[in-house]
């Protein structure tokens, strides 16, 4: 039983040593501190127009949901092709229902003018 704890203690000491060595190594090779303009996160040091926590227009959320609808359709089409060869008509009907549900979402977005950017 002591050998088990000895192995665990050895691993713990090795991990702690690795962390300390890596932190020391990163401090040793670190570059000079950034200047104030270089610390600005975007635009290569230029001042950003908007604050990072600004709210997004609802249009962006609609486009994200539309992307997910198309993305999920493609993600499930590839494995379905493999299952279709094995399952036959049952897999075909299930994929038809899945695509119909996604198509209804896309048609709703089209009706609500979700594809228009302006």
User: Does residue 47 fall inside a structural domain?
Assistant: no
User: Does residue 16 fall inside a structural domain?
Assistant: yes
Q: Is residue 21 located within the same domain as residue 65?
A: no
**Cβ atoms of residues 114 and 63 within 8 Å:** yes
Tens digit of each residue's pLDDT, the chain (118 residues): 667 788 889 999 999 999 999 999 998 888 778 777 666 665 555 666 777 677 777 777 777 878 887 887 788 788 888 888 888 888 889 888 988 988 888 888 888 887 777 6
Domain region containing 112 = 56-118
Residue 51, burial from CB neighbour count under 10 angstroms (0-12, 13-18, 19+): exposed
Residue 5 CA to residue 61 CA, distance in Å, equals 52
User: Does residue 15 fall inside a structural domain?
Assistant: yes
User: Does residue 39 fall inside a structural domain?
Assistant: no
Q: Is residue 65 located within the same domain as residue 99?
A: yes
User: Does residue 79 fall inside a structural domain?
Assistant: yes
Entry pTM: 0.45
């Amino acid at each position: 039983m002591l050998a088990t704890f000895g192995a665990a203690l050895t691993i713990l000491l090795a991990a702690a040593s690795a962390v300390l060595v890596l932190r020391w190594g990163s401090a040793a090779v670190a570059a000079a501190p950034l200047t104030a303009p270089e610390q600005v996160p975007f635009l290569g040091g230029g001042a950003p127009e908007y604050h990072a926590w600004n709210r997004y227009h609802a249009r962006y959320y609609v486009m994200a949901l539309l992307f997910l609808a198309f993305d999920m359709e493609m993600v499930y089409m590839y494995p379905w092709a493999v299952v279709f060869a094995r399952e036959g008509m049952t897999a075909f009907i299930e994929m038809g229902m899945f695509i119909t549900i996604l198509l209804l979402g896309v048609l709703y977005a089209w009706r609500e003018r979700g594809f228009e950017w302006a």
